[in-house]
Structure 1
Amino acid sequence: MLLTIVIVVLAALIMLRVPVSFAIFAAGVLGLAMMGGLDLVLPVMQTAPATAVRSTALTAIPLFMLMAQFMLLSGLLDSLFDAARGLVGRIPGGTGIASIGAGTAFAAVSGSSTAAAATLAQTSTARMIREGYRPDVAGGLVASVGTLAAMIPPSIILVFYAITAEAPVGDVLVAGFFPGVLIAAAMAATMYLGMVRDRASVPMGAPTTLGEKARHLGQASPLLIIFVAVVGSIFLGIATPTEAAALGAAAALVLVIARRRFTLTAVGVCLVETVKSTAMILAIIMAAHVLGHFLTETRAAPRLVGAIEASALPALLVMALIAAFYVVLGFFMDQIAIIALTVPVVLPVVEGLGYDPVWFGIFMVLLAEVGMVTPPMGINVFVVAKSARLAPMTVFRGAFPYVVAMLAMAAVLLAWPQLVLWVPNLI
């Protein structure tokens, strides 16, 4: 009964648009107070928030965010799009494929889905519409491709999951690479299926000369250097995720200077945005630890594991129900909040069913990505709609086929977990 009251209060606060960190904190304090009064609340408040943010692994988050801000400032995405378009521009739907390729590459150095979608919208959507793509096809594609930044390393969301789940940060980060590439390929296949059904939705491509291809690839080559420096150093064990994040941030700053985008004002904006985003995440972590103490006192996770074991339901059916739960949560909440609220309870269930926590992080993030392009939350859709001056429902309609593709890939990862785990197993 007490747990039900706390969950209802938490849901009500979130629906009232109370900031997620405050909603989680209030629910946790309420639960502790109802369970043991101030004698239980005060000791938790004295230790939990400070302990929550004391982990050295957390330093990777602001560094990856700073790297993403510098990459946005460098304007590299324009070069990535031109390079991708030069390689595949002559095939039917070449500009759409180029958008997927540029978005996938940019995801490897941005770490933020919303930032990737906003930047892609400014560079790709308008050009696709000018070339004859239907507005819903162009907007839906870009909004969906932006979600890859949550999957492909270095992903801030995956770092946050690893810290919350107490899983190896490096393993979780590199585990997202191959599934991210598979999802990008599924999106390209989805676009082609749409083109086969409706030729008018996707126009023919435009060829480029060999010299233009070489020039554009040269301009985009710094991306490969930064990606190898960051992800390669983690994969090879040369650097910890925090060290790799620092290396990536420094390399991105050098790129800003080399591309003559460096100004004190612009760098100041990057630093402010990094601090704001970091403060938001740390506040959620501290609040989640307070709520976690309450959940520990109620023994919610062990009781849930016991109930599922007693039900004798097949593991695949339980995982399908968990998947549906995450898809529905994604309709209303952002990924950071979903991870903070559910992982402490759901992960023991998943491990009890025999699944690896590294695999579950990739699986869960993929399902949460669906919420970024579906109503009513659909933050990527609203970002693209605003940047490209399209109606949100137009973008939602165009994103639907890619939602189906992402859910199909989730089913593939559930059936073959080794698609996720084979890269971490190489380390």
Structure 2
Amino acid sequence: MFSDPFVTGLLGLAAMFALIVLQVPVGIAMGLTGVVGCGLIIGFGPALTLLATEPSSAMSSEGYAVIAMFLLMGNFAHVGGLSRELYKLAYVYLGHLRGGLVFATVGACAGFGAICGSSVATAATMARIALPEMLERGYAKSLAAGSIAAGGTLGMIVPPSVVMILYGILTENSIIALFLAAIVPGVIAVVFYFIAVFIVVRRNPEAAPVGEKAPWAERRRVTIQSWAVVLLAVMVSGGIYSGIFTVSEAASVGASVALLLAIFRRRLTVKNFLAALGDTAANTGMIFVMIIGASVFSYFATLSGLPAATVSWIQGLGLPPFLVLMLLMLFYLILGAIFDTIAAMVLTLPFVYPLILGLGYDPVWWGVINIVVIELGMITPPIGINVFVLHGMAKDLPLSTIFRGVVPFIFADVARLVVLITFPALSLWLPGAMGWL
């Protein structure tokens, strides 16, 4: 056993990042480092028990079951055709404007993000639905692709969000408070994206041809046809915020309703049912591996004293809290460009969360800011994950074209981040007014 736990902690941190660089999955790298590190500090007998207690705790947690249910709801909603109907609904009201299909895409991304709660899933779904529509109508490839890559990031900020649920569980904050805190930032995100699109098409009208205005009869017809989307959103979000359902119950009800809608519409086949279950299981398994790995590594980090030492060291520098916050923003921007959102968050929570509390910032507000800045990293060159997802689904679109298209949305995200940091009340007033803070 090492005599200095702090040195062991530093070596463990370096070893974990080395494993990640060597392409070891993040969850496994964290878990392996945590077990070995704990073994060096307290002995390998007690350390190895973590391999039994932490998976057992995670698998038996009702809170973590919410993640699987929301992922399943999103998959069943896609099978039931709700994502396509949501896009049609946005299009009949916005399609006649210059850049209307882009407005509709951003709006549909926000709506579908509220159903599935996943950034990558939202981008992938809208790439299948919206990209062909925009390209067929003569929209610039960069604008069409950029709007989908950026719009996909709304899947993580618009509640219910899988990442917010995970943040709430890992930091023991109210999930409902986090959902309420994300509503206004989510609306601001959509508005700022609309402004970015308006500026782009105003400067370059050829990038977005004007479509025909849908008659009111058509709008009414599409609105009526979209009843399933409205029903699912009202039952899940309305049930949570009104107090009828807990978050766990709302997730289960949402998954059940989405499945019944797919059956009712005769769109559920054995093949796509199994595909939905398989996709849910794969993503849930990936998240659980990261949760278990993060739990083991967090235990090791606490034993080594690294988080407390990090907080003391940064506070000892005498830097203003705002400057520390800006450095964290830069750090997460880089991290978000390299790692998946969930991986980036669970990787850093053991160190950053105590620091945020020590600086006096609200943990619910930080949860929103944390997710926003990591999502910004997901479209930031050179390694924006959403951009690569889109490129993988539309290989004829060069990466340079997609990255060029996301630039206006990056500026919009930076502006949103500045607003949310400058005015924390935009995130906190709603959960406070409803008694969740």
TM-score range, shorter chain: over 0.9
The CA RMSD over aligned residues, in Å, is 1.6
CA apart distance, 1:363: 0.6
User: Which residue matches 2:266?
Assistant: 260
Give the Å deviation of 1:375. Answer: 3.5
Measure, in 2, the Cα distance between the counterparts of 1:206 and 1:10: 55
Alignment-derived partner of residue 145 in structure 1: 151
| Residue number in structure 2 paired with 1:420 | 427
- Listed as ranges, the matches of 1:13-412 within 5 Å are 13-388=19-394, 389-412=396-419
Q: Say if 2:134 and 2:144, in contact at 8 Å, map to a contact too.
A: yes
Gaps of 5+ in 2: 1-6
Distance 1:396 1:17 in 2: 25
Q: Give the whole-Å Cα distance in 2 for the aligned partners of 1:42 and 1:222.
A: 49
Provide the rounded CA distance (Å) in 2 between the counterparts of 1:157 and 1:130: 34
Percent of residue pairs bearing the same amino acid type:
36
Q: After superposition, give the CA deviation of every residue in 1:216-251 in whole Å (9 maximum; x if it has no partner).
A: 111223212211111111111211100000111111
* Alignment check: 8 A CA contact 1:94 1:206 kept: no
Whole-angstrom CA distance in 2 between matches of 1:35 and 1:404? 46
Inter-partner Cα distance in structure 2 for 1:378 and 1:328? 10
Distance in 2 (alpha carbons) for counterparts of 1:375 and 1:29: 35
What is the alpha-carbon distance in structure 1 between the residues aligned to residue 249 and residue 374 of structure 2?
28
Structure 1 residue ranges (4+ consecutive) displaced by more than 4 angstroms after TM superposition: none
Q: CA offsets, 1:268-299, max 9 Å, x none?
A: 22112111211111111111111111111111
* Alpha-carbon shift at residue 338 of structure 1 (Å): 1.4
Q: Distance in 1 between matches of 2:431 and 2:206?
A: 43
Instruction: Assess if the C-alpha contact under 8 Å between 1:49 and 1:290 holds in 2.
Output: no
Equivalent residue letter for 1:405: A
| TM-score for the superposition, normalised by structure 2 | 0.94
Residue 10 in 1 paired to residue 16 in 2? Answer: yes
Q: Taking structure 1 as the reference length, what is the TM-score of the superposition?
A: 0.96
Higher mean C-alpha deviation, range 81-90 or range 321-330:
81-90
Mapped contact 2:70–2:117 kept (Cα < 8 A): yes
Query: What secondary structure, in the 3-state scheme, does the structure 2 residue paired with 1:176 have?
Result: helix
1:145 Cα shift? 0.2
User: 2:230 & 2:318 partners in 1: Cα distance?
Assistant: 48
Offset at residue 200 of structure 1 (A): 1.9
Moved more, 373-382 or 66-75: 373-382
Partners of 1:82 and 1:216 within 8 A in 2: yes
Letter in 2 for 1:407: V
Q: How many residues align?
A: 427
* Residues 214 and 342 of structure 1: CA distance in aligned 2, closer, same or farther (over 3 Å): same
